[in-house]
Structure 1
């Protein structure tokens, strides 16, 4: 490789023209992939259009599964002084349930870290392992021959350059500019998410519970097909947000900013907010493997770019870290990713995504929300199952009734879907 950047990726340094592995996108998925690959001895270029630290629309919460993946990556010390989250405080229809994270192979605690800090920490970890960072450079196109990606076209400062690589991992997020140029298509006939996030000063910022409001109302009092959240960050602030589920047939017809402002007023006393929410941003989110075109001969999509996101709540950091590790393992083991990578994603996540997509589709209809939510919020057993599903805490090894029923629902959904996850 010639003329690589390192560390901060200063703009006056030359963009490399080749690498063993090019990783496009330095969010959790891309940076984790770069770290794993560099640790395995590969010559890795990690490229991102932003300059770090940078923000990202997110709830900032880490489930026990995501926290466990961070530990396995080697970032346990980074989380050592972060909040230790016991579980979810679920609210709605005049009831409240505090549900601890269930016992699982991932541990009993979650956490919460602002994405400006989390993403930068994983990126810097990748650089420390030997990955070469290039910031402020956008991958916009690719030269492909017979399914093999020959080179990636990059722009920075008005200039174009090309990077060739033996393998390419695409982790450039929900819109995935490079993925789209490679044929990635996002299908919105299944549930997708719309969300808005903000930060607010709170006297409960050191709380051990994540707040979740399953009954979300608009400014006129109308019930919305969505939910609200308050995640304590341990630094005097909380992450405060609202999300809604939608499909192409039932788009989320809600103005997010006024709904978020209304929700903030609703929880001000409960969460002891001392100021109005700030830094409001919003985003769309593909979910549940609702994309096609996730791999070619020597390239594959991971994380958000591959719609590896829980369709019920938008959680995807754990899947980002997991798909990063699996992708690097496939780089070492396979000569052609075209069928192998989609097959891996379907095997790992297909059933749970299919079941969650079907459930999320029901929740896009406001009339079903109280029918399911009003009795559900009053059942500790049912809410425990909900938290387990929302936290991505079921594994293929689980043999209890809830796990078997969820997998059965997923298998049935796959049989009846015209486009199962990742197909």
Structure 2
């Protein structure tokens, strides 16, 4: 019997391990510039990914740069607001350009967009270890494919394997094995609530402290509902220790606390199982580069700790890596320096969002912000700026910022 499958690639200019938003964005950018690119992933096209699925303005900008925004928005559920709900039940609608599209569909669009540009997609291919030359420079990777070892050589390797640390550890890039936070989400089909839940609803309350619950309207009468807990692991001398966090119990407590979540679960039908996942935040927990290799996306900690948003920033890091390679090609040190400089330029913003994370730790701050924003158009505009990355989230909850709340 003749095997009709194409021959496995053994050589490429850029090998990208992981075909999520970061990997696919880099692949499309590089392939459109004429480079030979191979994306390898252990999961097939259209795999599921545990995520809130919210696309905020930074994701829109990255998708627009990639030329894929219209395709995504044609399938996404659009929304014009984030509804912030405080522990006492008060709420405020913060305007923004927003949408929701399940990651299974979003990642498929991004992956096919990379293939459309000329990148080759290899799956299922499980990353085992980097290939190194005599000087220790990464020159490719070894995979397990159909139970057999297979090697692919490359000028550059991008590691875009997400929050699970196994691949980072295998590549010698992991500095913190435990995550920054954890999340649990499910999909609920509830057509009866489509006209009632139009905003991306974020709820701060004691049962989810330090973190928040959410209900996001998705396409076709579905809703993404979940809880996220920040700072879920202690970092003890580089070795994390899990705190006493039972995500399912927290999710159940959120459902019992928030009336709309209770209605959603009562009137709708859960589609599939509730699923949990780790989060890696604040551009920390992994080395960014080594000779021949760049770490991108959530593997590099691209998720914001305050909002839990990571899709847009994952794509942005992938584009930064691609631009560094295109600008310097064979100059290893220059590529690494350019990419690291790009990440450093983002670091202050991550630090500010880490300061904003105080709202998750102290939910009463959400009550205070909502109370004042309902009376102050200027404060509401500043909160909208946090979504659009034009306002400093840390200033909202600093001592000076809190004092200003009573003057606006």
TM class by shorter chain equals 0.7 to 0.9
For 2:137 and 2:194, locate their aligned partners in 1 and report how far apart those are by CA, in whole Å. 49
For 1:192 and 1:234, locate their aligned partners in 2 and report how far apart those are by CA, in whole Å. 30
**Aligned residue for 1:248?**
234
**What is the Cα deviation at residue 328 of structure 1?**
1.0
For 1:57 and 1:76, locate their aligned partners in 2 and report how far apart those are by CA, in whole Å. 21
Using the size of structure 1 for normalisation, the TM-score is 0.81
Select the residue among 342, 345, 350 that pairs with 2:343: 345
**The residue matched to 1:229 in structure 2 has which SS?**
strand
- Listed as ranges, the matches of 1:22-421 within 5 Å are 22-78=15-71, 79-92=73-86, 93-101=88-96, 109-145=97-133, 146-187=135-176, 192-202=180-190, 203-205=192-194, 207-217=197-207, 224-246=209-231, 247-248=233-234, 251-265=242-256, 266=258, 267-268=260-261, 274-278=267-271, 279-334=273-328, 335-336=331-332, 337-347=335-345, 349-360=346-357, 362=358, 365=361, 368-370=362-364, 372-380=365-373, 381-382=378-379, 384-389=381-386, 391=387, 393-394=388-389, 402-403=391-392
Q: Which moved more, 1:264-273 or 1:117-126?
A: 264-273
Give the unaligned 5+ runs of structure 2. 236-240, 399-408
Contact kept, 8 Å, 1:88 with 1:212, in 2: the verdict is yes
Contact kept, 8 Å, 1:148 with 1:296, in 2: the verdict is yes
Give the unaligned 5+ runs of structure 1. 1-9, 102-108, 218-222, 396-401, 410-423
For 1:149 and 1:277, locate their aligned partners in 2 and report how far apart those are by CA, in whole Å. 45
Contact kept, 8 Å, 1:147 with 1:296, in 2: the verdict is no
Contact kept, 8 Å, 1:140 with 1:177, in 2: the verdict is no
For 1:248 and 1:405, locate their aligned partners in 2 and report how far apart those are by CA, in whole Å. 22
Give me the CA root mean square deviation. Answer: 2.7
Contact kept, 8 Å, 2:17 with 2:161, in 1: the verdict is yes
Using the size of structure 2 for normalisation, the TM-score is 0.84
The number of equivalent residue pairs is: 373
For 2:228 and 2:395, locate their aligned partners in 1 and report how far apart those are by CA, in whole Å. 24
For 2:225 and 2:83, locate their aligned partners in 1 and report how far apart those are by CA, in whole Å. 14
Higher helix proportion: 2
**What is the Cα deviation at residue 170 of structure 1?**
1.1
**What is the Cα deviation at residue 231 of structure 1?**
0.6
For 1:364 and 1:253, locate their aligned partners in 2 and report how far apart those are by CA, in whole Å. 17
For 1:364 and 1:63, locate their aligned partners in 2 and report how far apart those are by CA, in whole Å. 19
**The residue matched to 1:36 in structure 2 has which SS?**
helix
